[in-house]
Amino acid sequence: MAAAPLHELGPAGPGAEMAAASFALGLAGAWSGQAGIIWAAEEGVFAEEGAPYPVGLAQFGIDPARLIVVRAAQREDALWAAEQGLCAPGAVVICALAPRRKPLDLKVTRRLLLLAERNRARCILVRPLDEASAAWTRWRVGPASSRGEAKELGAPAFRVDLVRNRAGPAGACFTLEWNAHARRFDELAVDLSAASEHGPPDPVRARA
Amino acid sequence: MLKGVDARASSLGLKLAMSLADARAIQPNLAALEAEPGEDARALDAIAAWCERFTPVVVIDAPDGLFLDISGCGHLFGGEEKLRAQISMRLTAQGFANRAALAPTPAAAWALARYGKAPVVSADIVQTLAPLPVEALRLDEEAASLLCRVGLKTVGQLLSAPRSSFTARAGEQAMLRLDQALGRAPEALTPRRPPPPVFALRRFLEPLFSVDTILEATNTLCADVIEKLDLRGAGARRAHLHLFGVDGRDRVIEIGASRREREAKALMRLFTEKLSRAAENLDAEFGIEAARLDIIQLERIETAARTLVAVEEADASAEKISALVDVLSARLGPQRVLRPKLLDAHMPERAVAWRSALNVPPASSRQDGGKMPALQTTPPHDGVMRRPLSIFARPQPIETLATVPDGPPIRFRWRRVLREVARAEGPERISGDWLGGEPTRDYYRVEDKNGRRYWLYREGLYGETQAPRWFVHGLFA
């Protein structure tokens, strides 16, 4: 999965937007290197979920010194900023879009994919799942209960469904926990009941 | 009292400082307008602004004069004399009676413009200035009359008189003014705008109308400016592009770079972003007749030897990010492209500041000279987040059911959805800024039964007169 240039994440339902955004941050944290993370989001996204809080980001494992946040007034600006960000080799670009009635044109996601491929950068697109997209993998992300003693909170946990996978079969559902020290997701549970027949992909272990 | 007379009036014998009654006696049906020094000053400033299309160094010589330093600009107009003639002609066309003089020093130019016959200094400056009266040296009345009384009425006479034979007062000022006129002593003038250290100016025989032609011209200016910067071993940080319209207006496009820019291509990229955005607002229906690119902030470049490949790669990456920041800021505005800065502050919302990425060099948000933040900013030992990933600028009020006096909520309603709490930790007491009179907050980290995690706080303690209020301040992963 790490090799793919464009991924798409969507919230599993209303109220799961934060989970999708945080999952994107986790992936970005796992993959980012020298070039850092560029987070291009529409203003509507910040109104819905709150503005990024660098203290929390640092605890999560994201280096604030290598983070650039672009607050775009319009969707086109956010997409344009994401495209520009993908021209920096090694960068991880998160592009977060607010829900819109008109779905995103396939050309737009294809352009993101091409730019990411050409420059060895990676793009994570976070938006409500629409129909057509050029992304290699698409995930539906929702919150999951954390593992903690008694009533205590544990490490951040997510429930993700692999909705589409260009490199293999789809349909598997994972419960993942974010390990901030190692900057990776640990697998807590796997549910393959909805997976297609060719056998499950193992995107967690396939991550470098 | 008359403050100004036009050519016709003065030919009829009306003079400055004459009273209106006397003037009316000479010419009963003269048209008299009330003097408005404020308006005149504004008009002079407007003319000075218009002159910026010839040179960036324009000095206002109140109440009715301007100095233009045209060193280096003459060649664009076919020579300095042609430039002088053109400025004078265009001012006349706009309805301003004027006299323009060209000289190697400001003092000599002033003298020629006000008292001289020919507008240009001939090869020998002494010869040109000699026949002018001593008033042409900008002496005060006392000094001038003193000199006249001792028989020194012209500049030529002043020059040939021995220096030591004057009284201290009249003599020193006169000598200084004389030296300034001849270029022997410096004169400090304050231009209307601080002159840019490096600039390039071009004028167009045909006015430019389309954005494409303007971009082409900007490209040439960028190349000119980079040449000049190279000679100084410097790179550009901020630049202003002035587009001078035939209608007299000056439109300014500003760009900033987060690192010293040495490539014309990179500068051009930033201008292209800005110009494409501003194209509709340019409103150049009469065309652009000249353009000037000012570098208003530059920095010297020290070339350091680089030995490690890894260091080079890191630098190349940093350069790319820096260029990216410049382009994003040029199109979207610097306040929309941000880097975080951690601060040492008690209230959580104040522990962070967002700065324009143009001003914050990469990988330095921790190295501020001040204190390190007291909050934990590395992943906690047990991997459990203590601070949320996002916070709301204005904490959002919620209704809660909680155990008194300081238990976490059992359930709460936020955005019209009732949420059942499955896990909770707290309270973490963060006392308010006692100077500002802000109440204490007890923060709780709370997880609902769907796995959503919130950062809530209760403001105020139970038992106080007002019922305490609860808020959602942020969200965890």
Domain annotation covers residue B151: yes
Closest CA to B396 of A183, A47, A174, A201: A47
Q: What number of other Cβ atoms are within 10 A of residue A103's Cβ?
A: 13
For residues A118-123, give the mean pLDDT: 88
Six-digit token pair at B349? 């919302």
Candidates B336, B339, B366; nearest CB to A71: B336
- Poorest-pLDDT segment among B77-81, B153-157, B233-237, B468-472: B153-157
The radius of gyration of chain B from alpha carbons, rounded to an integer in Å, stands at 35
Candidates B328, B384, B449; nearest CB to A81: B328
pLDDT at site B161: 74
DSSP B40-101: HHHHHHHHHHHHTTT-S-EEEETTTEEEE--TTTGGGGTSHHHHHHHHHHHHHHTT------
CB-defined contacts A:B, below 8 A: 212
Which H helix or E strand runs over B270? helix B264-282
Of the residues B300, B319, B334, which one is the last residue of a structural domain? B300
Domain annotation covers residue B236: yes
If one compares B143 and A17, the residue with the highest pLDDT of the two is A17
Closest CA to A130 of A164, A157, A80: A164
Tell me what percent of the residues of chain B surpass a pLDDT of 70: 89
Taking the CA of residue B262 and the nearest CA in chain A, the distance in Å comes to 19
pLDDT digits (tens, 9 = 90+) for B453-465: 999 998 877 666 5
Domain annotation covers residue B328: no
DSSP state of B468: P
Please tell me whether residues B62 and B148 are part of one structural domain. no
Q: Which of B325, B332, B381, B420 to mutate to test the interface with A (most CBs of A within 10 A)?
A: B332
Please identify among residues 384-413 of chain B the ones whose CB lies closer than 8 Å to any CB of chain A: 384-393
Tabulate helix, strand, coil % of chain A (nearest 5).
30, 30, 40
Q: What number of other Cβ atoms are within 10 A of residue B334's Cβ?
A: 18
ipTM: 0.88
Q: What number of other Cβ atoms are within 10 A of residue B346's Cβ?
A: 14
What is the C-alpha separation between B445 and B455, in angstroms, rounded? 5
pLDDT at site B389: 92
What is the C-alpha separation between B290 and B151, in angstroms, rounded? 50
Candidates B365, B386, B417; nearest CB to A65: B365
| Cα distances (Å, whole numbers) of residue B168 to B142, B160, B163, B171 | 13, 18, 10, 5
Q: Which structural domain range is residue B464 located in?
A: 390-475
pLDDT at site B373: 47
Task: Say how far residue A131 (Cα) sits from the centre of its chain.
Answer: 18
Collect all residues with Cβ–Cβ distance below 8 Å to B249 and sequence separation of at least 6. Answer: none
Please tell me whether residues B16 and B44 are part of one structural domain. no
Sheet holding B234-245, edge to edge: B198-208, B288-300, B234-245, B250-261
Please tell me whether residues B132 and B214 are part of one structural domain. no
- Helix, strand, or coil (residue B286): coil
Evaluate the CA torsion angle B232, B234, B235, B240 in order and state its sign: negative
Closest CA to B217 of B271, B259, B257: B271
Please tell me whether residues B112 and B80 are part of one structural domain. no
Tell me the CATH number at B248: 3.30.1490.100
Please tell me whether residues B7 and B24 are part of one structural domain. yes
If one compares A126 and B313, the residue with the highest pLDDT of the two is A126
Please tell me whether residues B265 and B184 are part of one structural domain. no
Beta strand segments in B347-416, E: 352-356, 390-402, 409-414
For residues B34-63, give the mean pLDDT: 88
Number of independent structural domains in chain B: 5
Single-letter residue type at B208: L
Cross-chain Cβ contact B390/A51 below 8 Å: yes
Of the residues B246, B275, B300, which one is the last residue of a structural domain? B300
- Helix, strand, or coil (residue A113): helix
Cβ contacts of B449 on chain A, cutoff 8 Å = 145
- By the CB < 8 Å criterion, does B379 face chain A? yes
Please tell me whether residues B76 and B139 are part of one structural domain. no
Q: Please say whether the beta carbons of A63 and A36 come within 8 A.
A: yes
Task: Say how far residue A203 (Cα) sits from the centre of its chain.
Answer: 14
What is the b/e burial string over B41-62, where b = at least 16 CB atoms within 10 angstroms of the residue's CB?
eeebeebbbbbbbbbbbbebee
What is the C-alpha separation between B244 and B180, in angstroms, rounded? 33
What is the C-alpha separation between A69 and A94, in angstroms, rounded? 10
Q: Which residue of B has its CA nearest to A175?
A: B451
pLDDT at A196 over 70: no
Cross-chain Cβ contact A180/B366 below 8 Å: no
For residues B59-64, give the mean pLDDT: 86
pLDDT at B416 over 70: yes
- By the CB < 8 Å criterion, does B269 face chain A? no
Strand partners, A6: A123
Strand partners, A205: none
- By the CB < 8 Å criterion, does A26 face chain B? yes
Cβ contacts of B414 on chain A, cutoff 8 Å = none
pLDDT band at residue B392 using 50, 70 and 90 as cut-offs = very high
pLDDT band at residue B356 using 50, 70 and 90 as cut-offs = confident
Q: Please say whether the beta carbons of B70 and B83 come within 8 A.
A: yes
Q: Please say whether the beta carbons of A125 and A9 come within 8 A.
A: yes
Domain annotation covers residue B285: yes
Domain annotation covers residue B401: yes
Please tell me whether residues B437 and B415 are part of one structural domain. yes
What is the C-alpha separation between A65 and B90, in angstroms, rounded? 55
Strand partners, B61: B65
pLDDT at site B317: 77
Cβ contacts of A56 on chain B, cutoff 8 Å = 385, 387-391, 474, 476
Please tell me whether residues B13 and B71 are part of one structural domain. no
Please tell me whether residues B11 and B61 are part of one structural domain. no
Q: Please say whether the beta carbons of B368 and B352 come within 8 A.
A: no
Ordered structural domains, chain A, with CATH: 6-206 (3.40.50.300)
Tell me what the pLDDT averaged over chain B comes to: 82
Domain annotation covers residue B382: no
Tell me what the pLDDT averaged over chain A comes to: 84
What is the C-alpha separation between A49 and A98, in angstroms, rounded? 11
pLDDT digits (tens, 9 = 90+) for A128-162: 887 678 888 888 999 998 888 888 888 888 998 88
Domain annotation covers residue B398: yes
Please tell me whether residues B1 and B67 are part of one structural domain. no
pLDDT digits (tens, 9 = 90+) for B195-226: 898 999 999 988 988 888 899 999 999 999 99
For residues B179-196, give the mean pLDDT: 85
- 């992300």: which residue's tokens? A141
- By the CB < 8 Å criterion, does A85 face chain B? yes
Collect all residues with Cβ–Cβ distance below 8 Å to A204 and sequence separation of at least 6. Answer: A174, A176, A185, A187
Candidates A61, A87, A143; nearest CB to B451: A143
pLDDT at site B434: 64
Q: What number of other Cβ atoms are within 10 A of residue B386's Cβ?
A: 18
Phi and psi (nearest 5°) for A184? -155, 165
Cβ contacts of A55 on chain B, cutoff 8 Å = 342, 348, 351-352, 373, 375, 377, 387
Candidates A53, A65, A148; nearest CB to B352: A53
Please tell me whether residues B26 and B48 are part of one structural domain. no
Collect all residues with Cβ–Cβ distance below 8 Å to A28 and sequence separation of at least 6. Answer: A37, A39, A62, A92, A94, A124
For residues A165-179, give the mean pLDDT: 84
Of the residues B246, B272, B300, which one is the last residue of a structural domain? B300
Taking the CA of residue B390 and the nearest CA in chain A, the distance in Å comes to 4
Six-digit token pair at B123? 């090869």
pLDDT at site A132: 73
* β-strands A37-42, B250-261 pairing: unpaired
Domain annotation covers residue B221: yes
- Poorest-pLDDT segment among A20-29, A187-196, B178-187, B380-389: A187-196
- 């008690």: which residue's tokens? B346
pLDDT digits (tens, 9 = 90+) for B322-332: 888 999 998 88
Candidates A73, A145, A156; nearest CB to B476: A156
pLDDT at site B363: 56
Taking the CA of residue A154 and the nearest CA in chain B, the distance in Å comes to 5
What is the C-alpha separation between B371 and B304, in angstroms, rounded? 31
- By the CB < 8 Å criterion, does B189 face chain A? no
